[in-house]
Amino acid sequence: MSHIILGITGSIAAYKACDIANELTKEGHSVKVIMTKAGAEFVTPLTFMTLTKNRVYTDVFDNQDPGNVEHIALAKEADLFVVAPASADFMAKAAAGIADDMLTTALLAYRDKPVLICPAMNTNMYENPLTQRNIGILKDIGFGFVEPKEAYLACGTVGRGALAGVDDILERIHVLVR
């Protein structure tokens, strides 16, 4: 059994993270979900708490155990850090080393273990040179990626930016936690 952090950011694809969390939990992994404020606008923390049987983390200042610095404890415990869906905003913060929420703070505390990023956004956002630069920075420091697919997007256009298939993401996770 592996300890997996599953980060959820602001993307309509957040609903697919429910399937990822559910599958990993059924397989016996301990899944701790960290949601950004925007991610929690798409799917509620209660959904992930019910699926994983674990507390969902949304606020770095909502530390429920005064003897435990939660973002540090989560990072130490985890064997794998997955962000699915990963928004352009999250990737920009991660590439710049900005830690202004529970997800980015935990990511900075997580070291020397695998990180898997699964982007999901509008095609123009994904193909923007700034986003591509940030992806390049994250790849250069060793983050793994499951690239988005081309599909009909929520904005009504067809293009690259849709979250990769849940099965493709799970396949990559299985390779990293064996």
Please confirm, yes or no, whether 155 is among the known catalytic residues.
yes
3-state SS, residue 86? strand
**Tokens 């690259």 appear where?**
160
Catalytic residue among 46, 155, 158, 175: 155
What one-letter code names the amino acid at 158? V
CB crowding 92-119: b at 16 or more within 10 Å, else e: bbbbeeebebbbbbbbbbbeeebbbbbb
Do β-strands 149-152 and 158-162 pair in parallel, antiparallel, or remain unpaired? antiparallel
**Active-site positions?**
155
